[in-house]
Amino acid sequence: MTLLGWIIFIVALLFSIMLHEAGHFATAKKFGMKVTQFFVGFGQTVWSRQKGETEYGVKAIPAGGFVKIVGMTDLEDVEPDDEPRSFRRQPGWQRIIVLAAGSFMHFALAFVLLLFLAVGIGLVNSSSTTIGVIDPCVPKSESAASCVKGDAKSPAVKAGLRIGDKIVALAGRPVHTWAQLGTAIRAQPKGVPVAVTVQRRGHRLTVHPSLAAIPGRKGSYLGISPAYLFQRAGPVRAVSYAGSEFGQIVAGSVKAVGSIPKAIPELFAKNRGSTAGGQVSSIVGAGEVTGQAVAAQVGWRVKITVVLSILISLNIFVGLFNLLPLLPLDGGHLAVVIYERARAWLARLRGKPDPGLVDMRKLLPVSVGVFALLVGFGLLLIMADLVNPIHLPQ
């Protein structure tokens, strides 16, 4: 099942890459620019096919993709017949649209998946206090991925609680929502029996588990998780949900990008998963978490929700990151075009000719330096995901 999760993630990632490049491709074609290549991957060509003036294909390393538009910068030699259709000769607004189209496709895909979650799968209603998962053991730490030999049984297992039990009272006080129940559990003293009243098959019974403690986690631990109840949303509710979630993920992604400078020491910390910087992950980490989600002992709706949530967050993060004003990212090229147009506007105000294109030779050292930093940080993330992976909570 973990392997299946990896396959799902890789296929979804390649689809996302194709959409990104399709955004550049479609808008460039729309504006009459000459596009000579559309490839998924890098390195040696595995398969390609020529159709019209464009070569379509797949390369050996599935770590990205590219669309080759003639005359992207002033450094490229272009045939005289192709110069009128080169990227650099088109109006600034058209070049901006082409450059931004890749990130737009990531955002559009994320929004469509959010709508699908709301309409097709349903939104999670966690107001019920029905038990959906019972943890078999007391984890040795907050980040422990699974039980190992020697771990103590969880208080829920010892007390005989069952999946499907609805907890109606704890310590003699009624509870009506899972949030209330969680707060009540954490507030109880550790190691002291507490009355837990459940409704099971139309009958009420009370058990008295002694709550445990998990190192690094505040409050007591019973070892239960809610039964996820899904309610499909109507069109208006779905759009409202998608917009709200999209905004929250954007805010979280911006925070994640801002935490990158301090992320390095947290990547190898024992409590990596509970730190903001430590949760920055590579595609290896995202694939591993997807595999864990597919292999988890939960219902299919929960699995789909978790997997799609990972893909939604990844697409929004990549879309935003790609817009950073740093060469060789699309955002860096956008910044160059905007600078060119602003410089041309100021020149017109002063009655001077358009200065033309930016001399990209002066920016090459910056571009190479940023690329080296991105590759280095990416390799560091992969290493952290291999030796100190993030695990889904049990």
In DSSP notation, 264-298 reads: HHHHTSTTGGGSTGGG---HHHHHHHHHHHHHSSS
Give the model's pLDDT for residue 393.
55
Helix (H, G, I), strand (E, B) or coil at 72: coil
Give the model's pLDDT for residue 271.
66
Q: Are 293 and 306 in contact (CB under 8 A)?
A: yes
For 49-59, write each residue's pLDDT tens digit. 999 999 999 99
Give the model's pLDDT for residue 127.
65
Give the model's pLDDT for residue 146.
67
Distance CA 56, CA 54 (A): 6
Distance CA 374, CA 295 (A): 32
Distance CA 283, CA 183 (A): 35
Q: Is the pTM of this model over 0.85?
A: no
Phi then psi for residue 247, to 5 deg, are: -60, -40
Distance CA 292, CA 280 (A): 17
Positions marked catalytic: 21
Distance CA 350, CA 170 (A): 77
Tens digit of pLDDT per residue, the chain (394 long)? 578 888 888 889 889 999 999 999 999 999 999 999 999 988 999 999 999 999 999 999 877 889 999 999 888 999 999 999 999 999 999 999 999 999 999 999 999 999 999 999 998 766 678 898 888 998 877 656 567 788 899 999 999 999 889 999 999 999 988 889 999 999 999 999 999 999 999 899 999 999 998 887 788 999 998 877 788 899 999 999 999 999 999 998 888 777 777 767 777 777 666 655 666 777 888 888 888 778 776 778 888 888 999 999 999 999 999 999 988 899 999 999 999 999 999 999 999 999 999 988 898 898 899 889 888 888 888 887 887 777 665 5
For 335-366, write each residue's pLDDT tens digit. 999 999 999 999 999 999 999 999 888 988 98
CA 347 to chain centre: 43
Sign of the four-CA dihedral 311, 6, 131, 212 = negative
- For residue 214, count CB atoms less than 10 angstroms from its CB and return exposed for 0-12, middle for 13-18, buried for 19 or more: middle
All domains in the chain, ordered by first residue: 131-227 (2.30.42.10)
